[in-house]
A and B are shown apart, each in its own frame.
Chain A
């Protein structure tokens, strides 16, 4: 137990089920992993893989009545699942904070960005008006916004997408959280701006000694910036391990398919991509077997009726869920 309390985040058998008109939808279906302090991990998956729901559930944002959350999320030893709104609110901002894909949705369009940071500081940390403003400008500077005194009075609509995302990061960092959940933080942004934001996150992580969870569909985003990767498919973890191991020594066919189907800058032009047929399954109609089986070329009858659990690979911490794993050879990603 004491070992677990050391850890920043321990997720155990976490399941999030939405009750919809069409039936129960297991968006996250039994996920377990843990996370050390000062670490960056990546959660990768296609749409419908449950990566966004997972990060929101960790944050404790699911409160609608038609949702059931089971399992456990221990955040620095505190159980988030089933905690009261008050208890959760106390931890939001100081323990855990979140940034979203579209910065416009998390910013109030009719309020000056500086005031939005101020508010957090004054309400949460009880700062005085003057202190809060000074700190807000400091934060804007920290996230790399040029001439922060001037930008303090800007409205979100007057800023570019990249600048807005920086403001959102500043708000998230206002109360120095231990853990930052970043849900597709760069998806809507241009490549050069994306690189700026990712560098900023990495730099802030070092400087503020926090941990970051990067949730993304883009393998390129996590390849060089995380120490561990979780690959999700149809609401479950199908492979987890150190970034290097997942890229070079993956055992789960889906991981390979995902890697091989993404086009690479280093490919010659007109390179034919390896594809997986079909598309991710309908979560309302999941079978007892492996959810990837219908698209998998290695699938056997066993795969279709019995779901594989995560099993340990050779390298410590590397696990995969597959009945017919790929052989233990190290593959090079580069062609």
Chain B
């Protein structure tokens, strides 16, 4: 009676033409991923790698520059810098990962729930978070860490992790808000979906890309923060190496042995650069709206 069956044929012809024009991630992205992977492997297997004990002091090699024996040279106590940089990454990586587990573990569900539920729950929680955000996080962290002694890696992770909760909350809440007002959320409700189903099936997949890229950038920020704390002497106690306290210790003998600063700084910078770059690329890659012309 109508020309209706004709549609499927034509729709087909026209639909095939619409490609999913996704930009490839690019070689630089994979180089960065490789570098991060290498760092993680190094941190995990530091004790089985063929490197020296980072605490072993060899007084016949003090402040020597890079050589075949000591690829990165040695420090003022004759310790191998390469070994210290690799062991040092353990602290940085654990702080980065641990703090973000706490930050996202608490901040992300709260942010999603607040944005989805709205109402009084959202108003109160958001205001509390804004009050927390108003504290200068770094000063609060310094203050707490200087009183909460003896310092340990665990305490540092907890303090930085808790300090990151309001930030994560804000980012996730904003991201959720922009999705939660879309018609497809109402449509899901109209079909009889439960709140839980909506949060897991409709909201989460749309927020995940933003969350992942923010997570990577968050890890980078936290690692930099640990470096700053170590520089102030507020991170793990020497002689345990971390990138931050290595730079701190090297500061005093900068003129005698610049290598001591260069290698841990380079490790720190490269690591952060790679994380930021990956986060940025991923955000672009998953942005559905950008795919459309």
Contact = CB atoms under 8 A, between A and B. Distances in A.
A281 interface: yes
Contacts of A307: none
Given A20-B293, A22-B293, A279 B14 contact: yes
Contacts, number: 29
A276 to B, nearest CB: 10
Interface residues of B, number: 14
B135 interface: no
Contacts of A275: 3
Given A281-B14, A282-B18, A285-B17, A21 B23 contact: yes
A278 interface: yes
Interface stretch (B5-13, B114-122, B214-222, B273-281): B5-13
A285 B3 CA distance: 26
Interface in B10-35: 10-11, 13-14, 17-19, 21, 23
A282 B13 CA distance: 11
A278 B293 CA distance: 20
A295 interface: yes
Contacts of A21: 21, 23
Contact of B17 (A20, A277, A282, A295): A282
Interface string A262-273: 000000000010
B17 A294 contact: no
Given A22-B293, A275-B3, A294 B21 contact: no
A20 to B, nearest CB: 6
A277 B5 CA distance: 10
B18 A277 contact: no
Contacts of B2: 272
Contacts of A294: 10, 13-14
Contact of A278 (B14, B19, B21, B23): B14
Interface string A244-282: 000000000000000000000000000010010111011
Contacts of A282: 14, 17-18
A277 B19 contact: no
A62 B122 CA distance: 44
A38 to B, nearest CB: 38
Given A20-B293, A22-B293, A278 B18 contact: no
A277 B21 contact: no
Nearest to A277: B10
Contacts of B6: 277
Contacts of A279: 14
Nearest to A25: B293
Contact of A277 (B7, B23, B293): B7
B21 A22 contact: yes
Interface of A: 20-22, 25, 272, 275, 277-279, 281-282, 285, 294-295
14 contacts: A21-B21, A22-B19, A22-B293, A25-B293, A272-B2, A275-B3, A277-B3, A277-B10, A277-B11, A279-B14, A282-B17, A285-B17, A294-B10, A294-B14
Given A20-B293, A22-B293, A275-B3, 8 more contacts: A21-B21, A272-B2, A277-B3, A277-B7, A277-B10, A278-B10, A278-B13, A281-B14
